[in-house]
Structure 1
Amino acid sequence: MQNLLLNDASTISTLEYLPINLFPPVFKEAFTGRHTQLLKAMVAAWPFSYLPMSALMKTPNVELLQDILGGVDILQAQKVRPRWWRLGVLDLRNVNQDFWDIWAMYAQQRLKMRSNLRFHLKEHQTCLLQWAQERKDSVQLYCVKIDICAFPGEIIKEVLDIFPPDDIEELELFTNHILLFPGHIASHFGHMTKLRKIRLTYIFLETDTHDMCAVLFLSQFSKSNSHEQLSLDGIYFPHRHMQQLLSCLKTPSESLSITRYLLTPLDFKHLSQCQRLCQLKHGNLTNTLQTLELVNCNMGDSDLRALLPALNQCSQLTTVNSYDNDISTAVPKKLVQSMANLSNLTAEFYPAPLEC
């Protein structure tokens, strides 16, 4: 290992004969030691289909990213690809994974590059986007997770044009520039067919103009009908649109979170009748829940104890009813004690304990 790293030029000239089991450890040492030219050459000669750069580049670094992209340029510039070349996916996402994981097998005609993107663009993200835009005919940059914050709509559209929308699996929309949605986001949103996790934060649709945006938003939203997780935080949609929004959830949905939004009795009625929520695993109605009815639900001690942390956060709760459930004396005591700080709570109904 040390001999290989002592003379970069010699090692580069013999990469064709380097046993493939040595590529990962040598590559890791070259990356750590900033052997720029060797790093570029090893990217171009990578004998596996998958290169998880995200497992090495924990902290974004423009210089190292440029070295990696330089290796891709070397590979793309070769008229005759090396016989050992297999690289199909270069993973630049900021995710926790082990560099030594099994190399996934891909067969791609064009090199695909994975990345996560947040629209507070940092230097390394700008570098990657510019590079990909110039090479869009030979390199496909695709994004699994994308966060759209307060950002000029024209730039959002320009960046979204780089990514295939049907590869995006997670989306966070955090902007009060919702009027930009029709012209800059809607056309992409409707093609996000793999979208499974969505978070909408601080979106206000109140006026008649906003209402038109809401109609367009929901019509496009419903096209990507595969939502397993939906989070609504501090949004304002007219209540007539809430039913349509919830109907976009996948069956069965895994998680629903609604915070800082005043749910009406009609909203709760729709929630209770929504078949898409019949197998919900995680629910969060923080600062929205006012009345909780858990009557004759065949709940035991462990079920009610599991609810306590969530109930403690429901500051708007006024009424709790857990009649006709099989619980012991200890559980009502814990419920009363845990909810003692909920200032709006005025009515609590508990079943007779099993001991009675």
Structure 2
Amino acid sequence: MSKEQRRAADCHRLPSVPGFEVAVAGALRSHRAQVWSVKMSMRSAPTLQQLAMHSLLSNPSLAISALEDVPVLLFPSLFLEAYLTESPELETLKAALDGLDLLVAKKDRPSRWKLHVLDLRSAYPNIWKRSYPHMMRVSCPDILPEEPTARPGSEKPEEQQPLMIVADLTIKDGPQDAFQAYLLGWARKRKARVQLCCRQLQILSPSTHQIQKALRAVRPDSIRELVVNSFWHRETMKRFAPSLSRMKNLELLDFSKMSAHVYTSRSRNFWYSRKYAAHLGQLQRLQELRLHDVFFLRGQLPAILRSQTPLKTLSLTACPLKEADLRFLSQCPCTRRLKHLRLRSLLMADFSPEPLRALLEHVAGTLETLALEDCAITDGQLSAILPALGRCSQLRFLSFYGNRISMATLHSLLSHTASLGRLSQGLYPAPLESFLPPDWCLGHIHPEAFAQVRARLAQAWRDSGTTQKLQICTDFCHRRHKGQFYSLGSDGYWVVTHEALPALSALPV
């Protein structure tokens, strides 16, 4: 039997349904027209199923009228094709969701035909699994959270298992993504038979109404990564914080922009801090914690980091920090395997160097990236922690810009880091000798003085025999995330560039 005869036979075995017959007829005509050119190019011809789907999706009105009659085995592929098309028709997608609802609601379908998981994340466009929940736990552990073992006889029949839809969501101000808004409303109305799971949730809005409305549609224990990047008031956080307790599988929390209320007493702000910390302390699986410009951190790290789960990443930026918080980090079980540590724009000039030294010793065996940036660290503080820094054998990236240290202390720092065989890049401040005495506090580099500093640093770099990339940051703006860098090339010349400050997620590790 020839290939064309076999395709014709396949066509006769497809169900006979009105809308779908039109698509198949169009597909057959298209197929015959393509066979010769495909043979000539030695590529395999599109399947009849692919051509039928293309025919349906190229005619939205035909697709909508035919969706209820599309064979159940073809529905997942058709939905995925509609979702991933370059300019998807919103009405087609809405109708496709309603078709899904019909598919889930029907109980007379054989269980092997039922769709159980629909993954709409852009990074996983082809994940379709049917044998829920066992196959999902084996093949896609990032979708389903851990479930407690069911008691004998308590398992639900397979036909009663809900449809699980997985999508990454963004809550923002202004015009919303039309399909996401429809999906959230659609899932809220069908919570009995549909579960909307979200691995990555971004909140870019201060609107309590929008946030709560979206969270009512999402299974909270499916959220693994939460990013909050919007100016929140205390009341917004007060209403949102209880939701954190239900995100039991959260692994990454990135929270930005929540300053203390200037018209509120310190005791009242402290009361709010304790309330927020109590909810944050419920996150027992947290692996990455990034807090930027939040007032509720001061003195609350012991309450927030109560979990015994080892942290991989800790980033604290522009937050009020107590010396006792650093001491806690140096003793906390959850930091014993820390790989990435950033302390930026923290007022540490009056801190004893002992907690920071103890912290570096605590993480010396695992730390790969260390950023102590714009923390007003002095010569004496740095000299005290250098022996501990020299024992960080896994360190690959060091960023120390924004601190006011002398040329002698910087030279000592380079000598200690030169022995770290894995260190590939170091980002350092311009030493105090780069400024004239009246201007050092204003950050105005003196060209001739800085030229002499660069010459001495280049000689020290050559004498050390290190291969690390050496950079000097002479100016920076955290609001715009930009800086001015002098990079020493292998030829001994310095190259000046203006570029983005290194983000923790983009550090070269």
Which interval holds the TM-score relative to the shorter structure?
0.7 to 0.9
Superposed CA deviations along residues 204-242 of structure 1, whole A, max 9, x for unmatched, are: 245444333322221122122110011112222252223
Partner residue in 2 for 1:138: 193
Tell whether the 8 Å contact from 2:314 to 2:341 is kept in structure 1 after alignment: yes
Question: Contact 2:251–2:285 at 8 Å: present in 1 too?
Answer: yes
Distance 2:421 2:107 in 1: 76
SS at match of 2:397: helix
Partner of residue 118, structure 2: 90
Q: 8 Å contact 1:54–1:91 — kept in the other structure? A: no
- CA spacing shift, 1:317–1:110, aligned 2, 3 Å: farther
Do 1:48 and 1:103's aligned partners in 2 also have CA atoms closer than 8 Å?
Answer: no
Cα offset for 1:66?
0.9
Q: For residues 142-164 of structure 1, give each alpha carbon's deviation from its aligned partner in whole angstroms, at most 9, with x where no partner exists.
A: 22222223333233223322222
**Which of the two has higher C-alpha Rg?**
2
1:17-59 Cα deviation digits (max 9, x unpaired): xxxxx7984686467635624566558445879x867982577
Alignment partner, residue 307 of structure 1: 397
Distance 2:53 2:433 in 1: 58
For the structure 1 residues 303 and 73, does the alpha-carbon distance in structure 2 shift closer, same or farther, using more than 3 Å as the test?
Answer: closer
Of the three residues 214, 219, 226, the one matched with 1:159 is 214
Indicate whether 1:114 and 2:169 are aligned: no
* Counterparts of 2:431 and 2:71, CA distance in 1: 58
The reply on whether 1:213 has 2:272 as its aligned counterpart is: yes
Say whether residues 1:10 and 2:21 are aligned partners. Answer: yes
| Alignment deviations for residues 101-141 of structure 1 (CA, whole Å, 9 cap, x no partner) | 67474246111111222212422221112212222222222
Q: Deviations over 1:290-325 (max 9, x none)?
A: 34524155558x856x324x33xx324647665995
Q: Which residue of 2 aligns with 1:181?
A: 237
C-alpha change, 1:199 and 1:134, in structure 2 (3 Å) is same
Deviation at 1:88, TM superposition (A): 0.3
Aligned equivalents of 2:323, 2:114: Cα separation in 1? 58
Aligned to 1:241: 300
Letter in 1 for 2:244: F
| Code of the aligned partner of 1:315 | G
Q: Distance in 2 between matches of 1:264 and 1:344?
A: 31
Shift of 1:69: 0.4
Match of 1:129 in 2: 184
**How many aligned residue pairs are there?**
333
Q: Secondary structure at the match of 1:227?
A: coil
Residue identity opposite 2:236 in structure 1: L
The question of 1:341 aligning with 2:447 is answered no
Partner of 1:18: none
Contact kept in structure 2, 1:190 and 1:221, CA below 8 Å = yes
CA deviation after TM superposition for structure 1 residue 169, in Å? 1.2
Q: Which residue matches 1:170?
A: 225
Residue 205 of structure 1 contacts residue 213 of structure 1 at CA under 8 Å; is this kept in 2? no
Identity value in percent: 23
Q: Cα deviation per residue 1:298-354 (whole Å; 9 max; x = unaligned)? A: 558x856x324x33xx3246476659958469999x96xx525366999xxx9x969
Aligned counterpart for 1:271 among listed residues 321, 326, 329: 329
C-alpha RMSD of the superposition: 4.5
- What one-letter code is carried by the residue in structure 2 that aligns with 1:236? F
| SS in structure 1 at match of 2:199 | strand
Q: Do 1:328 and 1:354's aligned partners in 2 also have CA atoms closer than 8 Å? A: no
Comparing 171-180 and 264-273, the one that deviates more? 264-273
Matched, 1:258 2:316: yes
Paired residue type of 1:219: A
CA distance in 2, matches of 1:238, 1:344: 35
1: distance between equivalents of 2:115 and 2:226? 28
- Residues 168 and 199 of structure 2 are in contact (CA less than 8 Å); yes or no, is this contact kept in structure 1? yes
Amino acid across the alignment from 2:332: C
Whole-angstrom distance in 2 between the partners of 1:331 and 1:13: 61
After superposition, the Cα gap between the structure-2 partners of 1:331 and 1:229, relative to the gap in structure 1 and judged at 3 Å, is: closer
Within the alignment, does 1:222 sit opposite 2:314 as a pair?
no
| Structure 1 residues 73-95: Cα deviation after superposition (integer angstroms, max 9, x where no partner) | 331453522565220011223x3
Task: Quote the residue 1:33 is aligned against.
Answer: 58
Q: Give the secondary structure class of the aligned counterpart of 2:254.
A: strand
> Does the aligned pair in 1 maintain the 2:308–2:333 contact within 8 Å?
no
User: Could you tell me which amino acid in structure 1 is paired with residue 317 of structure 2?
Assistant: T
Letter in 1 for 2:211: I
C-alpha contact (below 8 Å) 1:221/1:248 kept by paired residues: no
Q: In the alignment, what sits opposite 1:67?
A: 95
Maintained 8 Å contact 1:296/1:322 = no
Contact 2:201–2:225 at 8 Å: present in 1 too? Answer: yes
